[in-house]
Structure 1
Amino acid sequence: MSLSDELQRIFDSDRTMRMAELGLLRRKDAQELVALLERETEHALGMEDRVEGTMRLERLADLCAQVPGPRMTDALIAILNDAEPRVRVAAGEALRDLGYERYAEVARGIERALDRKAHGLAMAELPWVLAEIAEPSALALLRRFLEHPNADVVAAAIESLAQLRDPESIADLERFLSDSRVVTIEDFEDETKTTLGELAADALDIVR
């Protein structure tokens, strides 16, 4: 098969996928579709074949974001908890884009995760989602992340407050200046160990 034929196959496959997605989402208000996406998300998260699971979760993140309702927001947060970075990027971007259009849905989903005292990778990703959307009510939610028992989650909240640059967060950040808990900060391919106190000091330099 020639290179031109291979490229045409890609175009044809993409067209077929788009048409199938349109057909699926025509019923996006149907509870049957919501239940299906929930089941498939749970199944993909538990798949032993991580290549297949990753592919499905990336696609499911996009689909769940297009279907309104709290169950789909919860599904996106579940996908955000996956160990594969590509999957978390897809889910985080889906939540961010959803937040631009339907912020209340995302905020309530995050509140539910906090209320059930959720743990895992998603809890360290959600503060960044809030900071990128940058709604005025983000500060109240980020304050709740500061109370999380996991230091990595607190670190994400501190860095997100720095990104928001809201002067009302100064007192919140000052509480952590003497916090000696050690966390690892990832910067592209580099990892740096620091304390929450040092992070808070850096954040205050930005916010003040």
Structure 2
Amino acid sequence: MTKPLVQMRGIVKKFPGVVANDRVDLDIYAGEIHALLGENGSGKSTIMSVLAGLYKPDAGEILIDGTPFAFASPRDAIAVGVGMVYQHFKLVEPFTVAQNLQLGERQGSFLLSDAGIRAEIQNFEKRFGLAVDPDSPVWQLSVGQKQRVEIVRMLYRGSKVLILDEPTAVLTPQETAELFVNMRKMAAAGCAVVFITHKMNEVQAVADRV
């Protein structure tokens, strides 16, 4: 039987006056698209922010490939291959796509040359259909294109678990269809994809697990 790539056990996350996550267990598998489905305020983004290192859990354990980890920051999560694309993008608008990738340089690696970054961008386009122009200033891009840059940035930094927080909320129907194709290709290549949503039709369209 296939073992989970990620195991979250007994996760508790509290904020003043509210328990956002109460002893949550969750398994995430490589090569599959997982839908985290629920109404707004149900704790979906919180539990994934715990996995991505943005929040520290008040209780519980996270295991990656069977090894327990305690993340102090998103950098720690990225170091073991967990990346999250938030609804509010974390790109530097005046910089080009390539420069934004350099800002998110791989953990523990040397800076790639400009040619090396371009080769990586071409690789992601060929493998996953994630076409981005390395020379475009981010401020000139559409919202859908910015989201694609964020996904490429996470993959460039070595994410094998990719979390997408309500990714279709800002997309046109055509961009949504393209994103689902990208997600299927990433899963087929062995990535574990998690997307947070409250839309049942999206779950039925693309999810392997709910």
TM-score normalized by the length of structure 2: 0.29
Q: Greater Rg, structure 1 or structure 2? A: 1
**Which of the two has greater helix per residue?**
1
Q: Which of 1 and 2 has higher RCO (CA within 8 Å, sep 6+)?
A: 2
